[in-house]
Structure 1
């Protein structure tokens, strides 16, 4: 699965130089919440890099394929001294979410020459998700943290607000959902804010 995403990224970059109508990058931050039957719910603060290739463009619509890579961190760490000595609690974790998304775009950010102030998009795809989870199976007196990964269907929806001269750049607000269909079958919800340039 990792090889498929790597090949898609390389293909996306190489197509840019030959037949791309509109190639953009986006950088931003977000929040992801992950939950599954046998794990505790976990929230993560994420950094996002989102390359996107638009094609089949009209004056203010397009189709696009993108790989919004999200890398996140979660948890807390604390330590100190008590009458019993030094103690520490560490439940730091990480997550990586990599979906391959096909979107329909309209308005701002959809086509190279589009100067609309507002735009919208909706799409679906397939995602790979990996990260640390805390197992909460009944019978585990001391829940333990482990690394799990899953693949599954993904969807996203959002809006874009054109900014700058001729609205060439935009601010994107996106919500996403992934339903893991392998391994521990997580539900992964995301909300991101990006600047596309």
Structure 2
């Protein structure tokens, strides 16, 4: 009897779908140990949509982001005078997100103009970071140690909206806000704002 009920439920929803998206955005990360910095990123998102109804679904996805950030800092050394450096850094963020979707972009046959999503998950983040200089700066601290690479993992959350485009609303534009709290290494706060085209 249970098997019949489960089959009837599964028959009432659409099959699983794989949805891809590409876009761009900006990420900001910083902590008590590092300077806050912004990264311009490119995004590639892939998610599996399941348990679809007429205008809702659940999804599991990986909205991958990678980008660059620039550093242009000047420090004063009493022995050598003003010291400056200009380095390019990088950033990669790889979250695994479980979302509830409603409206545009949620189900294959949904023709709503607007849609929303909210969810949570876990993420890995690696970035070029700049250590904060102590208020009492001593000359024996090496300049090379200020610009380094650090990584962290931690819980993540996102919320955003989708705008259906085209006559049948088969594609959509997604605006996504993202937050992650690193719980290892330099324990940063990480925020992101991205815009993607989902197809």
Q: Same fold (TM over 0.5)?
A: yes
User: TM-score, with normalisation over the residues of structure 2?
Assistant: 0.81
Does the Cα contact within 8 Å between 2:15 and 2:52 map onto a contact in 1? no
Specify which of 20, 33, 41 is matched with residue 25 of structure 1: 20
C-alpha displacement of 1:89? 3.3
Aligned counterpart, 2:67: 72
Unaligned runs of 5+ in 2: 1-13, 74-82
Does the Cα contact within 8 Å between 2:43 and 2:64 map onto a contact in 1? yes
C-alpha displacement of 1:91? 2.5
Aligned counterpart, 1:107: 103
Q: Highest CA radius of gyration, 1 or 2?
A: 2
The secondary structure found in structure 1 opposite 2:187 is coil
Q: 1:117 and 2:113 equivalent?
A: yes
Specify which of 29, 37, 48 is matched with residue 34 of structure 1: 29
* CA distance in 2: counterparts of 1:170 and 1:89, whole angstroms: 42
Does the Cα contact within 8 Å between 1:101 and 1:124 map onto a contact in 2? yes
Q: How many residues align?
A: 171
Post-superposition CA distance 1:15-57 (Å, at most 9, x none): xxxx952211000000000011100001000000000111111
User: TM-score, with normalisation over the residues of structure 1?
Assistant: 0.82
Does the Cα contact within 8 Å between 1:98 and 1:129 map onto a contact in 2? yes
Specify which of 178, 183, 186 is matched with residue 184 of structure 1: 186
* CA distance in 2: counterparts of 1:66 and 1:129, whole angstroms: 16
Aligned counterpart, 1:97: 93
* CA distance in 2: counterparts of 1:55 and 1:190, whole angstroms: 26
4+ aligned runs moved over 6 Å, structure 1: none
* CA distance in 2: counterparts of 1:25 and 1:168, whole angstroms: 12
Q: 1:54 and 2:49 equivalent?
A: yes
C-alpha displacement of 1:90? 1.6
* CA distance in 2: counterparts of 1:46 and 1:196, whole angstroms: 17
The secondary structure found in structure 2 opposite 1:165 is coil
Unaligned runs of 5+ in 1: 1-18, 79-86
Aligned counterpart, 2:148: 146
